Amino acid sequence: MIFSEMDREEFRDLLGDIGNYHMPFGKFGPKEFPPNGLPLYELPPEYLAWFAERGFPNGHLGELMEAVWGIKEVGMDQIFDPMREARGGRVSIRKRKNKRGDHTRFDD
């Protein structure tokens, strides 16, 4: 995705879509991050890099994931900070072991 060819309104709309979409499947989907999955802007760069190498999903979701990857790849992750603040901060994706030895997310 080439951001230099977008005008401000298009970029604002793109950021709005990114802020409203959650990962619908996989390791960061609703099963692991209920109820909707992880917001797209919180996906780790390594995960997005995997898709960049193998191909993003078809459709609007893939376009949004590719845009998030493009933004994070150039070090502009802070552009998502207002979205994070509006939702109460970053979502923890790290897991820890509880006393029983089971893995749970930090925010559980």
Q: What are 53's two structure tokens? A: 């190498």
Helix (H) or strand (E) holding 69: helix 59-73
Q: What 3-state DSSP class applies to 103?
A: strand
Task: Residue 32: count other Cβ atoms within 10 Å of its Cβ.
Answer: 14
Residues forming a β-bridge with 74:
none
- Find the domain containing 27 and state its range: 3-105
The pLDDT score that the predictor gives to residue 91 is 85
22-62 pLDDT per residue, tens: 999 999 999 999 999 999 999 999 999 999 999 999 999 99
Question: How many folded domains does the chain comprise?
Answer: 1
The pLDDT score that the predictor gives to residue 105 is 59
